[in-house]
Amino acid sequence: MTLDEIRELTPTELASRKKELRQEIFHLRLQQQAGQLEKPHLLTMMRREIARLETVLTAKTKASKAL
């Protein structure tokens, strides 16, 4: 997802997407430990996307508290 797409999501959608990504990372780590992970760069990409989601989510919660 691009940053613009992430910004369009609601806080509940952001939280659910973050949960989905954490589940995917968990499964990728299991594959990595078993030696079956073919694309290790996916772990890095997903961690970065989670960081983007958390950043936007924090900004949205601060903006809603300011109102």
| Beta-carbon contacts of residue 61 (< 8 Å; ≥ 6 apart) | 11
What pTM was estimated for this model as a whole? 0.90
- Token pair, residue 46, equals 């997903």
Q: Is the pLDDT of residue 3 over 90?
A: yes
Domains of the chain with bracketed CATH: 3-59 (1.10.287)
- Torsion sign (Cα): 19, 17, 52, 28: positive
Query: For the segment 12-37, what is each residue's pLDDT rounded down to a tens digit?
Result: 999 999 999 999 999 999 999 999 99
- Token pair, residue 20, equals 């989905």
Cα 6 to its chain centre, rounded Å, is: 10
Query: For the segment 41-63, what is each residue's pLDDT rounded down to a tens digit?
Result: 999 999 999 999 999 999 999 99
Report the pLDDT value the prediction gives residue 58, as an integer from 0 to 100: 96
Cα 21 to its chain centre, rounded Å, is: 5
Are 57 and 11 spatial neighbours (Cβ–Cβ below 8 Å)? Answer: yes
